[in-house]
């Protein structure tokens, strides 16, 4: 039915008023960052609508600030106008954290990208948020140092993004995640005030740990503009082995018993049966079709040291009925053993039009329970779910493959995710080990966190950002009356 004309006119007037307002705001933003550093071109708006997840929404515009002062001014303006600001790094996140859920302004920080200091005597590096992880790695290499978290997206992801999402990676078991290395920050609060947290010291118990509060805060509390990172001397030797298990239970037990053997591997990765089958169907790697494969790496400074650790690991595998163990005798052989694990994400990603890559994490003794639970969820919802991940820190990646153009399948994926989160929580685990809450898991926050914890989180958000301008809609932090 055709709408009455006056309603149409009213709507048009509203839209034109909104456009006029947006124009004014854009002009004010451009006054701060310069005309060339603001865009509302369609090509930019489309590209800033996405990150690495299935979420998307158009921002009103995007800005490329060049100085910390410009960011402070932008926030003052946004706070006054109640304008959503979405800080963004490389946009590789997997849970919609950089998607402008309520429109607003994407704050692309990639052009604030200087390494400000590398101080080996102080064992630290000071960087701006737009520095790419790999660029810091390259800069540290001549000193024999590295920044350990090693996120899979490290070639592109920015350190600002790593800190804001508390990124983790393959080396989590031994080296922890980004959080364990952030000594201090410079942050701009929504009212434009500039704050320094932490210190340049290896230890500090001075006041509340504001640094940690910002690590993993997903851009909801302030804009991080400088980061002081602790760095490590880089181990120079590694040993690598790959073990196969006919039975999932044996693989699970091998992982938990590893913790008794007195060493912690630098990588302990697991591939489940469905991942192995998918890799075989789509590559010529020709893997043994078993319940589970475990890839393990030990590191140190001499081969005697890494071989000693590997022997301990191999003993544990043997005690748990491993079918076969391959040990790398050279760098090339190690690369070949890593091939299956490294190809998993890409191989799985291309099987169907869409996928969700989850990152539920459980206490390590429950790895086998989690894998088995995922299989029954897949069966229950008639979905293809392939699992791989970081057994060494209990963090698995069930990758759900589906056709996003089929509404029925989309619905089943949502139900499966909910079941998966419940399973992890029931096993004493968490919704997310390294990808963050963002939009994907916002609705499940209360599944993991009790009402008191949710209250405290919302109160913190309210106290830092009373107008809810910073990355609104994420982490289920909105309180009543928000925009």
Partner 1 sequence: MEAKYDFARKYRKQILQCSKCGFCQAVCPVYGTTLRPALNARGKMLLLKEVMDGEIPLDDALIETLFQCTTCANCFENCPSSVNVPEIIKQVRKDMVHIGSCHPAFEGMNAVLKKQTNIYGEDVPEDFERVRNKKAEYVYFIGCVGSYREDETTMTTLDLLDRLKVDFTLINEVCCSGVLEDVGYRINKSLAEKNTDQILATDAKCVITGCPYCWRTFNNRPEYGKLKDSGIEILHITQFLQNVDLAVQTDQRVTYHDPCDLGRHCGLYEAPRTTIRKMAPNFVEMPHSHENALCCGAGGGVRGAFAKNSIAMARRRLIEAEAIDADIVLTDCNSCIHNLSNAKLRKQSFKICTTTELIHTLIKEQDVQET
- Residues near partner 1 (CB under 8 A): 41-44, 46-53, 64, 90-92, 108, 110-111, 132, 134, 153, 155-156, 343, 345-346, 349-350, 353-355
Q: In terms of CB distance, is 45 or 443 closer to partner 1?
A: 45
Q: In terms of CB distance, is 86 or 241 closer to partner 1?
A: 86
d(CA 326, CA 338): 11
Residue-wise DSSP of 144-171 = TEE-TT--TTTTT-BHHHHHHHT---TT
Q: How far is the CB of 441 from partner 1 (least distance, A)?
A: 18
Q: How far is the CB of 287 from partner 1 (least distance, A)?
A: 18
Burial environment of residue 153 by CB neighbours within 10 A (0 to 12, 13 to 18, 19 or more)? buried
Q: How far is the CB of 46 from partner 1 (least distance, A)?
A: 5
Q: How far is the CB of 161 from partner 1 (least distance, A)?
A: 11
Q: How far is the CB of 45 from partner 1 (least distance, A)?
A: 8
Tell me how far the alpha carbon of residue 120 is from its chain's centroid.
28
Q: In terms of CB distance, is 327 or 399 closer to partner 1?
A: 399
Q: Which residue has the tokens 């910073």?
A: 470
Residue-wise DSSP of 314-346 = HHHHHHTT-SEEEE-SSHHHHHHHHHHHHHHHH
d(CA 49, CA 64): 16
d(CA 304, CA 65): 50
Q: In terms of CB distance, is 22 or 343 closer to partner 1?
A: 343
**Residues with Cβ within 8 Å of residue 43, at least 6 apart in sequence:** none
Q: How far is the CB of 379 from partner 1 (least distance, A)?
A: 25
Q: Which residue has the tokens 């009213």?
A: 10
Task: Mark 380-397 as b/e (b = at least 16 C-beta within 10 Å).
Answer: ebebebbbbbbbbbbbbb
Q: In terms of CB distance, is 208 or 405 closer to partner 1?
A: 405
Tell me how far the alpha carbon of residue 297 is from its chain's centroid.
23
Tell me how far the alpha carbon of residue 17 is from its chain's centroid.
39
Q: How far is the CB of 359 from partner 1 (least distance, A)?
A: 15
**Residues with Cβ within 8 Å of residue 137, at least 6 apart in sequence:** 146, 147, 154
111-116-122 Cα angle (round to 5): 150
Q: In terms of CB distance, is 309 or 399 closer to partner 1?
A: 399
Q: How far is the CB of 428 from partner 1 (least distance, A)?
A: 31
Q: How far is the CB of 202 from partner 1 (least distance, A)?
A: 32
Residues across the chain: 483
Q: In terms of CB distance, is 48 or 444 closer to partner 1?
A: 48
CB 296 within 8 A of CB 265: yes
Q: In terms of CB distance, is 90 or 248 closer to partner 1?
A: 90
Q: What are phi and psi of 339, to 5 degrees?
A: -55, -45
Q: How far is the CB of 97 from partner 1 (least distance, A)?
A: 13
204-210-215 Cα angle (round to 5): 105
Q: How far is the CB of 278 from partner 1 (least distance, A)?
A: 13
Q: How far is the CB of 91 from partner 1 (least distance, A)?
A: 6
Q: In terms of CB distance, is 53 or 238 closer to partner 1?
A: 53
Q: In terms of CB distance, is 90 or 188 closer to partner 1?
A: 90
Q: How far is the CB of 57 from partner 1 (least distance, A)?
A: 12
CB 275 within 8 A of CB 372: no
d(CA 309, CA 256): 16
Residue-wise DSSP of 113-128 = --EEEEETTTTEEEE-
340-405-61 Cα angle (round to 5): 90
Q: In terms of CB distance, is 162 or 468 closer to partner 1?
A: 162
Q: In terms of CB distance, is 64 or 214 closer to partner 1?
A: 64
Residue 244, both tokens: 């196969």
Q: In terms of CB distance, is 50 or 308 closer to partner 1?
A: 50
């Amino acid at each position: 039915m055709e709408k009455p004309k006056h309603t149409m006119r009213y709507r048009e007037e509203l839209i034109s008023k909104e456009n006029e307002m947006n124009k004014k705001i854009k002009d004010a933003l451009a006054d701060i960052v310069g005309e060339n550093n603001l865009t509302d071109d369609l090509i930019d708006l489309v590209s800033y609508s996405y990150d690495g997840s299935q979420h998307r929404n158009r921002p009103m515009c995007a800005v490329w600030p060049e100085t910390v002062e410009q960011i402070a001014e932008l926030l003052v303006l946004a706070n006054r106008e109640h304008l959503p600001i979405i800080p963004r790094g490389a946009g590789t996140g997997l849970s919609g954290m950089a998607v402008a859920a309520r429109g607003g302004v994407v704050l692309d920080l990639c052009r604030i990208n200087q390494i400000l200091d590398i101080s080996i005597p102080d064992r630290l590096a000071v960087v701006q948020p737009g520095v790419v992880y790999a660029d810091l790695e390259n800069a540290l290499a001549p000193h024999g140092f590295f920044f350990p978290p090693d996120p899979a997206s490290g070639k592109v992801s920015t350190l600002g993004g790593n800190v804001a999402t508390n990124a983790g990676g393959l080396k989590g078991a031994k080296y922890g995640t980004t959080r364990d290395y952030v000594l201090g920050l410079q942050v701009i609060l929504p009212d434009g005030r500039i704050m320094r947290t932490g210190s340049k010291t290896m230890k500090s118990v001075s006041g509340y740990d504001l640094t940690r509060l910002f690590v993993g805060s997903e851009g909801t509390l302030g804009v991080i503009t400088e980061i002081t990172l602790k760095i490590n001397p880089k181990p120079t030797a590694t040993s690598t082995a790959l073990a196969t298990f006919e039975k999932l239970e044996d693989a699970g037990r091998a992982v938990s018993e590893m913790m008794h053997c007195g060493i912690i591997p630098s990588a302990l990765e697991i591939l489940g049966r469905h991942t192995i089958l998918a890799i075989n169907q789509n590559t010529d790697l020709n893997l043994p079709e078993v319940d589970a494969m475990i890839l393990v790496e030990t590191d140190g400074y001499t081969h005697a040291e890494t071989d000693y650790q590997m022997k301990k690991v191999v003993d544990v595998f043997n005690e748990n009925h491993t079918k076969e163990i391959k040990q790398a005798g050279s760098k090339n052989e190690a690369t070949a053993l890593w091939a299956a694990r490294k190809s998993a994400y890409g191989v799985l990603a291309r099987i169907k039009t869409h996928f969700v890559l989850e990152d539920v994490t459980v206490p390590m003794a429950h790895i086998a329970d989690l894998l088995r639970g995922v299989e029954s969820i897949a069966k229950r919802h008639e979905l293809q779910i392939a699992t791989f991940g970081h057994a060494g820190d209990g963090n698995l990646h069930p990758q759900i493959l589906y056709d996003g153009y089929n509404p029925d399948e989309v619905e089943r994926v949502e139900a499966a995710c909910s079941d998966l989160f419940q399973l992890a929580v029931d096993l004493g685990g968490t919704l997310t080990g390294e990808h963050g809450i963002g939009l994907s898991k916002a609705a499940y926050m209360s599944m993991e966190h009790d009402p008191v914890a949710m209250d405290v989180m919302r109160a913190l958000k309210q106290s830092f950002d009373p107008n809810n301008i910073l990355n609104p809609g994420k982490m289920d932090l909105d309180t009543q009356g928000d925009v």
